[in-house]
């Protein structure tokens, strides 16, 4: 007999903690992201067996080990296609993809626009510390132009007038907004309550949802103090249904010297990939759901 919703015991945060202790550096912002994810799961009373977390390579790639749920640690930059495949194979699962700014927007950057346009119902949380932490301090796609990271490379000359990072800094929120993302947000690891609430709303969104989780690296690029000063909430009257206004806001933050946190854009008007597939299968097979694998296989008997 299936339990009713009222009969399901309320989960606690500890129910989503694995036996593996986090191995990040003391003070790493990823601790805050991990806690926020677990708090969001508890608030939704999700069953650990119904959760899959997919990660790539990097410090943030370790996160699935620390959560009592199914986890897949894939090769560098491939978290998004793997997560989409998991969701399409079993639509009943809650699927989260996690990674860093390098994993997501350098090595895996080519997957982002296609994950957005397919609109598979997964949540992508990017832990952005603006540096490569695991390999000890190289500049990442989101490292500010001119910043001198700890470990120099050919893209960081030592001689004036071109000292520090030469490349322009990527604006990941602007990219996802322009690609057509239906849920685009930013939060800060020091804002634990807001972060868990935003992640929870991202999970609820029917389609691809994006969370830029600003997560300082105290070892190689410690941004805690300046980010605490720079972070402000979006205005109370912010219209999250206006994509153009959201693009304008994220494009001119550097000029204004702030980071805004909150949900920049959200729309429920974009059908998810699974919704579209259900429609296709209904027309092709007389009402059979996309999740009815046996019915599909019978077509080849």
Residues 6+ apart with CB under 8 A from 224: 27, 29, 190, 216, 218
Is-contact 39 14, C-beta < 8 A? no
* Inter-CA distances, 153 with 22, 105, 119, 164, Å: 30, 19, 37, 9
Q: Domain residue spans in the chain?
A: 5-270
- Quote the CA–CA distance of 65 and 72 in Å, as a whole number: 9
pLDDT bin (cut points 50, 70, 90) of residue 1 is very low
- Quote the CA–CA distance of 41 and 19 in Å, as a whole number: 17
- pTM for the complete prediction? 0.88
Closest CA to 104 of 147, 138, 54: 54
Rg (CA), the chain: 20
Looking at the DSSP bridge assignments, the partners of residue 40 are none
By DSSP bridging, strand 183-188 and strand 259-266 are: antiparallel
For helices 273-285 and 79-89, give the axis angle rounded to 10 degrees. Answer: 40
pLDDT, tens digit (0-9, with 9 covering 90-100), for 237-279: 999 999 999 999 999 987 777 899 999 999 999 999 988 888 7
Q: Is the pLDDT of residue 5 over 60?
A: no
pLDDT, tens digit (0-9, with 9 covering 90-100), for 24-78: 999 999 999 999 999 999 999 999 999 999 999 999 999 999 999 999 999 999 9
Is-contact 290 91, C-beta < 8 A? yes
Looking at the DSSP bridge assignments, the partners of residue 233 are 261
Instruction: Could you please state the CATH topology (level 3) that the domain comprising 5-270 is classified under.
Output: Rossmann fold (3.40.50)
| 3-state secondary structure (DSSP) of residue 279 | helix
pLDDT, tens digit (0-9, with 9 covering 90-100), for 185-211: 999 999 989 999 999 999 999 999 999
Q: State percent of the chain over pLDDT 70.
A: 88
| 3-state secondary structure (DSSP) of residue 129 | coil
Encoding tokens for residue 232? Answer: 């402000």
Q: State percent of the chain over pLDDT 90.
A: 72
Looking at the DSSP bridge assignments, the partners of residue 217 are 221
Q: Is the pLDDT of residue 283 over 50?
A: yes
- Quote the CA–CA distance of 198 and 187 in Å, as a whole number: 8
Closest CA to 191 of 209, 213, 220: 213
pLDDT confidence of residue 2: 47
- Quote the CA–CA distance of 162 and 155 in Å, as a whole number: 10
Task: Tell me the average pLDDT across 216-220.
Answer: 92
pLDDT confidence of residue 84: 97
Is-contact 35 83, C-beta < 8 A? no
């Amino acid at each position: 007999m299936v339990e009713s919703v009222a009969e399901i015991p309320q989960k606690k945060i500890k129910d989503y903690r694995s036996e593996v202790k986090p191995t990040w550096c003391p003070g790493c912002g990823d601790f805050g992201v991990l806690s926020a994810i677990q708090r969001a799961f508890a608030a939704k009373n999700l069953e650990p067996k119904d959760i899959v977390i997919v990660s790539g390579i990097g410090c943030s790639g370790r996160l699935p080990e620390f959560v009592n749920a199914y986890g897949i640690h894939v090769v560098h930059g491939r978290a998004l296609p793997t997560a989409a495949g998991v969701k399409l194979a079993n639509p009943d699962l809650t699927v989260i993809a996690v990674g860093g700014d390098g994993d997501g927007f350098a090595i895996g950057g080519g997957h982002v626009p296609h994950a957005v346009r397919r609109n598979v119902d997964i949540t992508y949380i990017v832990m952005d510390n603006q540096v490569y932490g695991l390999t000890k301090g190289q500049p990442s796609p989101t490292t500010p132009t001119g910043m001198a990271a700890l470990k120099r490379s050919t893209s960081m000359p030592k001689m004036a007038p071109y000292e520090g990072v030469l490349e322009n800094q990527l604006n990941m929120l602007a990219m996802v907004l322009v690609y057509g993302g239906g849920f685009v947000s930013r939060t800060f690891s020091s804002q634990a309550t807001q972060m868990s609430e935003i992640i929870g709303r991202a999970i609820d969104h029917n389609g691809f949802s994006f969370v830029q989780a600003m997560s300082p690296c105290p070892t190689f690029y410690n941004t805690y103090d300046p980010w605490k000063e720079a972070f402000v909430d979006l205005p109370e009257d912010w219209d999250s249904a206006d994509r153009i206004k959201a693009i304008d806001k994220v494009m001119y933050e550097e000029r204004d010297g702030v980071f805004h946190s909150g949900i920049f854009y959200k729309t429920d008007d974009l059908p998810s990939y699974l919704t579209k597939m259900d429609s296709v299968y209904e027309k092709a097979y007389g009402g059979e759901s996309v999740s009815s694998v046996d019915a599909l296989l019978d077509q080849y008997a």
